[in-house]
Structure 1
Amino acid sequence: MWLKGKGCPLGTVPIKRITKEDLIRQRSMPPPENVIFDDRWATVAIARTPINPNNKFAGGGMSASIWNPHVEGQQHSACRLKIQKEQDIIQVGWRAGKKHCFNILCPGFVIVSPEIPVDMLYDQVSHRGDNTSLEDEMGISRIFTSLTSFATDVEWGGVVYSPPGVPEPPMGSSFFPVNDTTYDAYCSGLQVLNAKGEMIDVDRVITHVDDTNLYKILDYPHASPGKFQHYILYGGPGENT
């Protein structure tokens, strides 16, 4: 994707050249989001590793379809791979929404990909019947306190946010999953990086949906060999009519 598919040289990452216009625009942005990533006001449809304080994960991976669900105002709708231990969280994925801090001018962002800038706009997104995907892998950084060793939880799936009193936005494809990867939002090839540094397929996950009237998730553990491996389908219309 970056530099016509060539990416950056080994050991480097893409950094956007900051212009005067960027700095002026930054002044009109709302305050940065809480870098603790407080999910109290978020609604999720996710799959996660079974809860076990003895879990030791050094990273995770997935391939996710990219969508552009309709959001307004302070709403956002996203797909993420999240790694967590206690209060420390690191996450990667895509997000639809223009009213939140989303680049390296804001605190809390760590550039890890030599190919994709953190504020990259995807000019190709999925449409029902034609999916576009993004491959993500993420390891633990040394900037954390609890995550200086290993994470205990890894999570994949969709997350939306609306301010209190505002209807929930669509998630993923904006439709409930229909068991078709060309129509549904998906996270496929669910993997974790174990304590030995081995990227292994995830055999079992626990699924959770905050509001099953608005969103759903379907789990397919190692349904078929090849591209998808263990995958989940997720999404829903939210409260939008």
Structure 2
Amino acid sequence: MKPTLTRRAQNPDISSTANKSSSIWLKDNGCPLGTVPIRRITKDDLIRQRHIPPPEGTFESPLTNINNNREPKTSNISSQGYKLTKSFSYSACNSSNPYDPNNKFAGAGMSASLWNPRIESQQHTACRLKIQKGSNILQVGWRVDPALYGDTKTRSFIHFQAGNIHCFNTLCPGFIIVNRDFPVDASFDNFQHRGDKSASEITMFIDRDFVNGNWWLLYDESNVEVGFWPQKIFTELRSFADNVEWGGVAYSEPGVPEHPMGSRCFPIGDPNYDAYCRRFNVLNDKGETIHIDKTNVRVDDPNHYGLMDVPHWRGGKYQHMAFYGGPGGFETLC
């Protein structure tokens, strides 16, 4: 299937992008022509699925906004057990309300540094790009999740939610892979350590096909087409999204100490030491790319996690940085 997208692949040669993001690309030139990579589902996978917590829910609650000393606003907060550090977008029309139902986003993107926080079996942590309208949600990013994957490796992930139905990766029908070189749940061999002089990061986009309404996943700066969620599986996301978020997520079962997020340390505003997201952008309803300067910021538990939102970290393109992370309920030497 050839999508009609605003962001088109700049270079169809995937091998040229392999070293930019990670070693997530399949070895030995990927799958045979006419096939795509899908992880084999085992009995253990099915047993672990029973213990995967529901995705972060949303409901209305007063929110203290910590960005630029603005007045408190009402916004969504997470389900029990979830802690978020996130930036979320204003509309392309500069509305003061990021949850304005008149927002019309046809896609979004970000780059994120890769980390491997140490967590326990019934915990998970992630950095994700999330677009949403009502109960319909799409998420992409990296994740450490023993309940989902059976290990503590840093892996890519995708997730969709349509009403009461939700699914990770290819564990159920929904996402259609078209790329024979890219497994959506593969592990990263390279990730960041505090003090590294060069970051290991991944770039990702979610874009809506204006012709048929399908939502496409693109990776790397060359916009490699990985696959798509068909329009027909959604209710509210049959049209445009009205909210976009970027940032970190941590989950621990209620009553269990919060685990570390990102670099395991509170951010200091340095990409060599902090987990970060950058390259914040959205597509408006005309397919125009809007680079985001203004965001609202929220931290669920400032005693354990932090976020520094810096719209102009340095000169040049894509320099809106959101540094996030924290030790959770554990002592960490930083």
TM range, smaller chain? 0.7 to 0.9
Please say if residues 89 and 295 of structure 2, whose CA atoms lie closer than 8 Å, have aligned partners that are also in contact. yes
CA distance in 1, matches of 2:85, 2:26: 34
Q: 1:40 aligns with which of 75, 79, 84?
A: 79
Please say if residues 37 and 89 of structure 1, whose CA atoms lie closer than 8 Å, have aligned partners that are also in contact. no
Q: CA offsets, 1:123-175, max 9 Å, x none?
A: 11110122210111112341211011111100000000000110111111111
Q: CA deviation at 1:79?
A: 0.3
CA distance in 2, matches of 1:154, 1:178: 25
Please say if residues 32 and 106 of structure 1, whose CA atoms lie closer than 8 Å, have aligned partners that are also in contact. no
Percentage of identical aligned residues: 45
- Matched with 2:49 is 30
Please say if residues 45 and 208 of structure 1, whose CA atoms lie closer than 8 Å, have aligned partners that are also in contact. yes
CA distance in 1, matches of 2:283, 2:55: 23
- Matched with 2:89 is 49
Q: Which runs of 4+ in 1 moved over 4 A?
A: 4-9, 32-37, 101-105
Q: CA offsets, 1:163-203, max 9 Å, x none?
A: 01101111111111111111110101101111111222012
Structure 1: stretches of 5+ with no match in the other structure: none
Which of the two has higher C-alpha Rg? Answer: 2
CA distance in 2, matches of 1:3, 1:116: 6
Q: Determine helix, strand or coil for the equivalent of 1:100.
A: helix
What TM-score do you get using the length of structure 2 for normalisation? Answer: 0.64
CA distance in 1, matches of 2:145, 2:123: 6
What TM-score do you get using the length of structure 1 for normalisation? Answer: 0.87
1:144 aligned onto 2:234: yes
- Matched with 2:295 is 205
Please say if residues 26 and 183 of structure 2, whose CA atoms lie closer than 8 Å, have aligned partners that are also in contact. no
Change (3 A) 1:83 1:7: farther
State the structure with bigger RCO (CA 8 A, min sep 6), 1 or 2.
Answer: 1
Q: CA deviation at 1:209?
A: 0.3
Structure 2: stretches of 5+ with no match in the other structure: 1-17, 19-24, 58-77, 91-97, 150-156, 158-167, 208-214, 216-228
- Matched with 1:215 is 305
Please say if residues 113 and 276 of structure 2, whose CA atoms lie closer than 8 Å, have aligned partners that are also in contact. yes
Change (3 A) 1:36 1:157: closer
CA distance in 1, matches of 2:285, 2:86: 24
CA distance in 2, matches of 1:112, 1:125: 25
State how 1:20-99 maps to structure 2 within 5 Å.
22-31=41-50, 33=52, 37-38=56-57, 39-41=78-80, 42-50=82-90, 51=98, 52-99=100-147
Change (3 A) 1:213 1:13: farther
Give the total of aligned pairs.
Answer: 237
State how 1:108-123 maps to structure 2 within 5 Å.
110=175, 114=179, 116-123=182-189
Structure 2 counterpart of 1:126, one-letter code: Q
Please say if residues 124 and 250 of structure 2, whose CA atoms lie closer than 8 Å, have aligned partners that are also in contact. yes
- Matched with 1:196 is 286
Q: 2:171 aligns with which of 82, 85, 106?
A: 106
CA distance in 1, matches of 2:241, 2:35: 24
Structure 2 counterpart of 1:89, one-letter code: I
